[in-house]
Amino acid sequence: MPLQIVISVFSVVNWIFFYETINIFCKNLINYLKLYIFLLSFAIIGFFYLPANAYVLQGPHILELMTGKYGKAKTLLVSQRQILYNNSPETKTVELNETLRYVFPEEFRSDIRSENIQRLHVISKAQALTVIDGKIAATSESIFDHYKDIILYRSRALLEHQLYLLGIDLSITSLGRFRDKTTYVLGAQYPDESVSQLWLNKDTFRPFRLILSEKSDTDHKNSMEIKYDKWKPVENFWYPMHIEYYQNNILVRKIIVDDIKVNLDFSKDLFDIKQLQSIHLPASRDVLEKPESEGLSEIDKTIEKFKKIYR
C-alpha cells in the first residue's frame, strides 16, 4: 500500500512538472513569435518605404564605374545636328550642322560653319575659348556646352572636379526612378530636383539626365535639364545619339548624332588656345569679362540671336 501511494505521488509530481514545462515552453514560443512578427513587419516597412535610405554606392565610386563602362577610345569625331526650338509661332526652328572632336580626357573642339555664322569652341586642359565669326566671344563655357562634360572627362578625378564646378555635391547619393528604371542620383536626395545633379542607370551606369540649377538676379531658380538618350556602341565605345535640353521644363534644343568615327588623328593646332587667341581678335572687353555664372540668364538671348540669323 505505501508503495502504491509513493508511485501515485511520483506520477502526480511528474504530471505537474510536465505541465509547467509545457506552459513555460508555450509562453516562450509566444514571445519568440511576437518578436519574429515584429522584426518581419519592420523589415517589410523598411523595404517598401525606405528605399532611398538603403545603402547606396558613394559618388566617386559611381563615377569610376560610369567612366569605365564607356569603352576605350583615344579620340572621337562626331557629326551632328543641333536643333534650336522656338517658343513663339512666328519664328522657324533653327538647325545647325556641327562637328565635334574629342581627345580624351581633356581636349574638345566644336565647329559650326554655315552661310550665316561660324562658331568655334575649344576646351583644352581647363581653358576655354569661343570664337564667333572670327572674333573671340568668350573665354568660358556657356550652359549649353556642359553636356559633353560627362563624356570628355573620362578620368574620375577630372570628372569629379568638373561636377564640383557645376555645383553637384558628390557626398550626396540616392536611388531614384526614371522611365521605369532604377537610377543612381548624384548630388541630391531623390526626388528633390531643386539642385544640380546627375542621374545614371543603375544597371548600365550610363547617364540619363544632367540637371543644372542656378539662382538668377531676381532670386528665381532657373534649371537646365539635359537628357541623354539612345546610347549606341561605336567600335566598343558608347555614345548618346540623342540629347535634349529643357529649360524650366520647356524643350529648347536637341542634338541628333549622324556619324561617329573612332581613333582618328587630329592636329594639335586645333586645340591650341594660345595660337587661336593670336589669330582672332576679341569681340569686346564686356564679353570677355562676363563671368560664366551669368550664362544661364543669357539662354533666351542666345536662342533669339540664332533665330534672327536663320530666319
Q: Is residue 232 domain-resident?
A: yes
Q: Decide if pLDDT at 231 tops 50.
A: yes
Number of domains in the chain: 1
Q: Which domain CATH number covers 174?
A: 2.50.20.10
DSSP, res 267: -
Most confident of 28-32, 117-121, 299-303: 117-121
* Cβ atoms of residues 205 and 173 within 8 Å: no
Q: Is the Cβ–Cβ distance between 172 and 164 less than 8 Å?
A: no
Cα angle, residue 59 at apex, residues 215 and 205 outer, rounded to 5°: 105
The boundaries of the domain holding residue 138 are 59-309
Residue 293's pLDDT band, with cuts at 50, 70 and 90, is: very low
Question: What would the grid cell of residue 137 be?
Answer: 566671344
pLDDT for position 188? 98
- pTM: predicted TM-score of the whole model, two decimal places: 0.76
The answer to whether residue 41 is domain-embedded is: no
Q: What is the pLDDT of residues 93-119, one digit of tens each?
A: 889 999 999 999 999 999 999 888 899
55 to each of 52, 88, 201, how far by Cα in Å? 8, 47, 16
d(CA 231, CA 66) in angstroms, rounded, equals 13
In a domain, 6, yes or no: no
Query: What stretches of 112-221 show up as alpha helix (H) in DSSP?
Result: 149-152, 156-165
**Considering the domain boundaries, does residue 73 fall inside one?**
yes
- Quickly state the pLDDT bin for 2 (edges 50, 70, 90): low
Mean pLDDT of the chain: 83
Q: Are 262 and 234 in contact (CB under 8 A)?
A: yes
**How many percent of the chain have pLDDT more than 90?**
64
Please indicate, yes or no, if residue 20 is contained in any of the structural domains.
Answer: no
> What is the Cα Rg of the chain in Å?
31
> Is the residue at 54 inside a domain?
no
Note whether residue 165 is domain-resident: yes
211 part of a folded domain: yes
The pLDDT value given to residue 283: 74
